[in-house]
Structure 1
Amino acid sequence: MPSVFPVSDLAAASVGVAGLAVSELIGLAGAAAPPVRVDRRLASFWFGTTLRPQGWELPPLWDSVAGDYRAADGWIRLHTNAPHHRAAALAVLGAPADRAAVAEAVVRWEAGALESAVVGQGGCAAAMHSQQAWAAHPQGRAVQAEPLLHWTEAALSQPMPAPRAWRPVPGRPLQGVRVLDLTRILAGPTATRFLAGCGAEVLRIDPPGWDEPGTVPEVTLGKRCARLDLATPGDRAAFERLLAQADVLVHGYRPGALDGLGLGAVWRRRVNPGLVDVSLCAYGWSGPWRERRGFDSLVQMSAGIADAGMRAWARERPTPLPVQALDHATGYLLAASAVMGLARRWRDGVGCEVRASLARTAHLLVQGGLADGAAPALAAETVGDLAPGAEATSWGAARRVAAPVTVEGAPLRWERPAGALGTAPAAW
């Protein structure tokens, strides 16, 4: 993919890590660990979008106000896809939901001051930093010191029996595994989509009224989707029952959010001692921004990726990666972590906690420096890049790009088409 960073390498590597984790799981179950093959071209497509509607169109990915704006001293990105984030940004700016009016208001602010004001209002924004500035920033330094994947050893100190009997099946390695999905947008849903492709039963839980029409058709493949209000006693009790019977929990609430609902790590471990608890956040698990809301496009601004692209290509505005690579790469790393956690639990009878962040994945990408030259654009997609057959989604028929990784004898296969949120009961 055309970028000053090795995005296609990141795509192939992260997809491959997930495939290798599945292969090792099969090997642990007694069969020979099968070979894994990654299609670099297809992996690059899967870092973009994979759904190809037939006779209908996907909704826009971005809200009309979201995007990069010139401030008095630099650039800032506003993330306004969620209604409450949009309201926060507009309230700070005192502007209507009109792009020209927002631009006129933003240019009167210094980027850092506007970022702080929007974040303080409960919104999402990121001033553009250079790589050097981010490396010296307290949050940048904190992220660089974190591991790519953090396994909490304390959770493994007391062996516990697994909550349910389960054994990997070579042809369908995660058949019988129950995955509770509390994630949104791309990174977490990418992870759980991969797990569904390996045979896991994935139940996604969203709050009442939540929707993300631009991404749901892409990421709900293979899943059932239900709704619960975790702040109400009845739905909290339902969630506790689901968690007690789950094998894996994947969650992407910002750090501290579940604790505020009384659903923190200690509570989760008490409800389900054998749980494989996998979580992600935007800006890392330590440092002053550890609880900050964030998304891939914002982290690219903060971490110097958009600035590096702008400088390398002598452009006049932020130049991010061609895809939301931090989301996708983190998603496949989370999927690999979940599979590795299941393998460890099956072997040793213990649960575990694994954490990742978009900012730490960004650090992984930039560690090797800029590429010698921009990679060429992918050749135009052909029918040979698509999986056979049509997918009967909730919105109409569609084709899907073929799977990017093959574990011999255990191909990725999704038994449910993509579907709308809130269409299934909150039950296994």
Structure 2
Amino acid sequence: MSAPRIPSPATALLQRVSSELGVADDVREFDSQPPHPVPLPSRLATADLAWASVRAVCLMAGIRDMPDPDRISTAYRSDRVLTVDGIAPDVWSAYSGFWRSADGWVRTPGNYPHHAARLLAGLGLGAGAGVDEVRAAILECTTAEALGLITAERGLAVPVRPEDPRLDARSRTTPLLDVSHENTGGSWDAPPASHVGRSPLAGIRVLDLTRVIAGPVCTRTLALLGADVLRVDPPELAEPEWQHLDTGHGKRSALLDVRDERFRELLNAADVVVLGYRPSSLDRLGLSASALTEDHPGLIVAQLSAWGMDEPDRAGFDSLVQAESGISLIESPDGDRPGALPAQALDHSAGYLLAAAVIALLKRRRQEGGSWTVRTSLRRVAAELLGMPRTLEPVSEREFVTGDHSATFDVDGRKLTTAAPVLPGFEFVAPRRWGSDQPRR
């Protein structure tokens, strides 16, 4: 009698995702393996995480063709492909990085001007301070002291910590995609047969309240599948142009204060709302998932946060979660300096997994009615990755090459090149200029 076959890490993750989404009986292609591993070399199972996340979207959307591992790698490292009129933008601020402290390491973000300004203010440095001054200021402090100074000015910084296997094991006992259902009544029709397969989300209206990779990747994927996606940003918080162009494909983009009555009209028309801001901020604005589903029966809410609902006040990014969760030390290039995954893999994976969840819950809403909420966090994705098999050294069977895995568009007379979509048989629609649309349906 042969021993039972142990599923691959990617297959095991797909099985978990389908079970949590309540569609395990509808998905029977778990064992389909990529023709070769996704070329994202790291000690952790980044390639398996990426493959499973993209494959989950395909399975939920009924896409039978296998995604291309090379395309997935390019999409996950899209910032290396992006050009505007042939010029690659600077995607990392000089203030974003690892800084040695008196007793360890600190990780800071600085891509948004207000984060850079608060970092400098916390360290007692002027607005024009350079990298060397930041380095010297943090080196004089212990990690705790540096964090205290920066966060006192509402800046963002985290300690670079070793992994905590027991903490991550406890996290993995909780859902990766946490789904809840409220029986609020109502019924919804399936999309017209002519749209199924070609544009499986045609007619679905999505309100996008996200920024910084993970949420925008989710809504970009929904737009790719035919959904009408409107991204709404606060007028007072500008988005780096490159960041929007990298993930804005197929969406409209509007600027609007969510306290404006027009925003309530948008909510009334939405099938899906995707949230990516701090849970506490959303609560103060009356935009928590529970408030939204109470006020709008039948709504599907997909909520992403950096650290999870247990830390609703904390802001964060992929790079910060990698640093604090232990990933940066695992991926150290020399056993001393912190390292990183070969891509913002927590962001991209969270985005694709959340998109897969939205697709599954749209189907369940048609079958069962009611309102649905799904939540995940970058920290929860990190815990999943930390529980997957790892290697002693980064391994890849193939080099990272962009090849023909890019797409070119005209955006207001400028030539934009971005990574191509990962879903077989689908092509991106050009991004629109950030904030260039009216906030209406």
Tell me which moved more, 144-153 or 94-103. 144-153
Task: Give the equivalent residue in structure 2 for 1:70.
Answer: 100
Q: CA deviation at 1:112?
A: 2.9
SS of match in other structure, 2:298: coil
Residue matched to 1:28: none
- Aligned equivalent of 2:183: 157
- Alpha-carbon offset, residue 275 of structure 1: 0.8
Is residue 43–residue 390 contact of structure 2 (8 Å, CA) maintained in 1?
Answer: yes
Report the secondary structure of 1:76's partner residue: strand
Counterpart code for 2:75: W
Residues 224-259 of structure 1: CA distance to partner in whole angstroms, max 9, x if unpaired? 10001224xxx2x11110011011100101111111
**TM-score under structure 2 length normalisation:** 0.84
CA drift of 1:55 comes to 3.5
**Maintained 8 Å contact 2:279/2:288:** no
Match of 1:107?
A: 139
Match of 2:362 in 1: 342
- Displacement of 1:136 after TM fit? 5.8
Matches within 5 A, 1:7-406: 7-23=46-62, 35-49=64-78, 51-53=81-83, 55-96=85-126, 97-132=129-164, 135=165, 143-153=171-181, 156-162=182-188, 166-167=191-192, 169-170=195-196, 171-209=198-236, 210-231=238-259, 235=260, 237-286=261-310, 289-310=311-332, 313-376=333-396, 378-379=398-399, 381=401, 383-387=403-407, 390-394=408-412, 396-406=414-424
The whole-number CA distance in structure 2 between the counterparts of 1:182 and 1:54 is: 25
Aligned residue in 2 for 1:414: 428
Displacement of 1:383: 4.2
Cα distance between partner residues in 2 of 1:112 and 1:146: 30
**Equivalents in 1 of 2:416, 2:111: separation in Å?**
25
**1:23-56 CA distance string (max 9 Å, x none):** 1xxxxxxxxxx52412111111111107543643
The CA distance in 1 between the partners of 2:69 and 2:316, in whole Å, is: 28
Counterpart secondary structure, 2:100: strand
Flag the 1:335–1:322 CA change in 2: closer, same or farther, 3 A: same
Deviations 1:202-232 (A, max 9, x none): 100111142222311100111110001224x
Letter in 1 for 2:439: A
1:116 deviation in Å? 4.0
The answer to whether the Cα contact below 8 Å between 2:96 and 2:109 also exists between their aligned partners in 1 is yes
Which residue identity lines up with residue 185 of structure 2 in the other structure? P
3-state DSSP class of the match of 1:77? strand
Deviates more, 1:82-91 or 1:297-306: 82-91
Distance of aligned partners of 1:395 and 1:378 in 2 relative to their CA distance in 1, 3 Å threshold: farther
**Is the 8 Å Cα contact of residues 17 and 336 (structure 1) preserved in structure 2?**
yes
How far the C-alpha of 1:88 sits from its partner, in A, is 1.8
Rate the CA distance shift 1:383–1:324 in 2: closer, same or farther, 3 A. Answer: closer
Is contact 1:249-1:278 (8 Å) kept? yes
> Matched residues, percent identical?
34
Name whichever of 294-303 and 5-14 sits farther off: 5-14
CA contact (8 A) 2:122 2:151 kept: no
Which amino acid in the other structure matches residue 375 of structure 2? Answer: R
Aligned-partner residue type, residue 332 of structure 1: Y
Q: CA deviation at 1:305?
A: 0.3
Go from structure 1 to structure 2 and tell me whether the alpha carbon gap of 1:181 and 1:377 turns closer, same or farther (over 3 Å shift). farther
Q: Match for 2:141: what amino acid?
A: W
**Which segment drifts farther, 192-201 or 77-86?**
77-86
Q: Is the 8 A contact 2:218 2:354 kept in 1?
A: yes
1:380 Cα shift? 5.3
Separation in 2, partners of 1:35, 1:61: 35
Structure 1 residue 375: Cα displacement: 1.8
Partner deviation per Cα, 1:95-118 (whole Å, 9 max, x = no partner): 133111111111122113322443
The reply to whether residue 5 of structure 1 matches residue 44 of structure 2 is yes
After superposing on structure 2, the runs of 4+ consecutive aligned residues of structure 1 that deviate more than 6 Å are none
Match in the other structure for 2:34: none
Count of residues in correspondence between the two structures: 396
Instruction: Find the aligned partners of 2:388 and 2:401 in 1 and give their Cα distance.
Output: 29
Instruction: Kindly report the root-mean-square deviation, in angstroms, between the aligned alpha carbons of the 2 structures.
Output: 2.2
Deviation at 1:67, TM superposition (A): 1.0
Checking the alignment, whether the CA contact within 8 Å between 1:254 and 1:281 is kept in structure 2 is yes
Aligned amino acid, residue 35 of structure 1: R
Unaligned runs of 5+ in 2: 1-39
The change in CA–CA distance for 1:195 and 1:426 in structure 2 (over 3 A counts) is same
The code of the aligned residue for 2:234 comes to P
Cα offsets for 1:87-140 (capped at 9, x unmatched): 2211111013311111111112211332244334322111100013xx466xx6
